Amino acid sequence: MVFSDILKTSPLSRLETEILLGFLLKKNREFLLTHPETTITPGLFKNFQTLTKKRLAGWSIAVLTGEKEFYGRKFTVDKNVLVPRPETELLVEEVWRTVYNEPSDADFFIADIGTGSGAIIISLALEFFQKDKKRFNNIQFRGIDISARALKIAAKNAAYHKQVRNIKFFQGNLLEPLINRSDWPNLLNDNLLIAANLPYLTPQQVNSSPSIKKEPRLALVAGPDGLKYYRQLFRQVAVICQDKEASPKRKVVLFCEIDPDQTKSIKALAKKILPAGSIVIKKDLANHNRLAVISC
Ligand code: GLN
């Protein structure tokens, strides 16, 4: 059997067929496009059928191939982490911009809460490492997740992108592992940036969305209004901000990815729990409200 025969019979789209076969053959899509006569051995065809079945059962292409591109780089993923989404690149960009709006010798502590595959914090570390070593050296990068299985993937990704010596990962609930350890920003000097792509969907949203039903619910569902974890995080931040009077120049900024439907409710929540903070909503490339930036 050759590649062009499979294209004719595959129940998957041409794109997905090419990606999965390319993955099994360890060749890129361009190779398959230019070599339709590539032989597909019976063993390989069997593996392709197994992947096809899983794809039809709802597993994502990213989990089947074990990788996903985010912010121009490859990340390992598996069933224990949320597959990084293109719209989350906005969060990386806004954190980057915030750092750049400060003097180049400013100290930063960037905490990625619910780091999952580590894609956000590793992308940030790599961007600074590759583009501005001076700033890189003034930043502490931290990734936190409640799931030990997710942290294994994050550590694997950090090891693969090996320059990232300034990243540390911790297991625990939101900011707790940082607050309870001595590994905490210098409260007088470091600006604290909190990047959070926490679970923000309701159980109904997840149940009615076949494309995400195989992704970890732990990374997606956040109570009846989808704000359960942001509520907890805001309360932790409120406590941190009490210390701010001693260091008025220090910045504490939260970057929370949201569902566009949460625009009003996240504003109300911030107003209630972080009344001194100001909130700005940013849109993603699809023009959907996607990020709440709260400066306290
Ligand atoms: N944006 C994701 C989705 O809709 C949800 C991510 C999350 O809950 N953090 O699939």
The atom of ligand 1 lying closest to the CA of 212 is: 10
Residue 204 pLDDT exceeds 90: yes
What is the tens place of the pLDDT at every residue in 119-132? 999 999 999 999 99
Mean pLDDT for the stretch of residues 205-233: 94
Residue 242: predicted pLDDT: 78
For ligand 1, atom 10, name the residue with the nearest CA: 212
pTM: 0.94
The minimum-distance atom of ligand 1 relative to the CA of 211 is 10
* Strand partners of residue 67: 76
pLDDT tier at 245, thresholds 50, 70, 90: low
Averaged pLDDT of the chain:
93
Interstrand relation of 191-196 and 252-257 (parallel, antiparallel or unpaired): parallel
Percent of residues in the chain assigned helix, strand, coil, to nearest 5: 45, 20, 35
Question: Looking at residue 166, what is its pLDDT?
Answer: 82
CB burial of residue 9 (10 Å; 0-12, 13-18, 19+):
exposed
Ligand 1 pocket at CB < 6 A? 82, 85, 197, 199-201, 212, 220, 257
- Return the number of other C-beta atoms located less than 10 Å from residue 182's C-beta: 5
Q: How many angstroms does the Cα of residue 221 sit away from the middle of ligand 1?
A: 9
Phi-psi region of 58 (alpha: psi -120 to 50; beta: other; left: phi over 0): left
For residue 260, give Cα distances in angstroms to 219, 223, 241, 263, 271: 18, 17, 27, 6, 18
- Contact of 76 with 154, CB cutoff 8 Å: no
Range 24-31 average pLDDT: 91
Residue nearest to atom 9 of ligand 1 (CA): 199
Q: Is the pLDDT at 112 greater than 80, yes or no?
A: yes
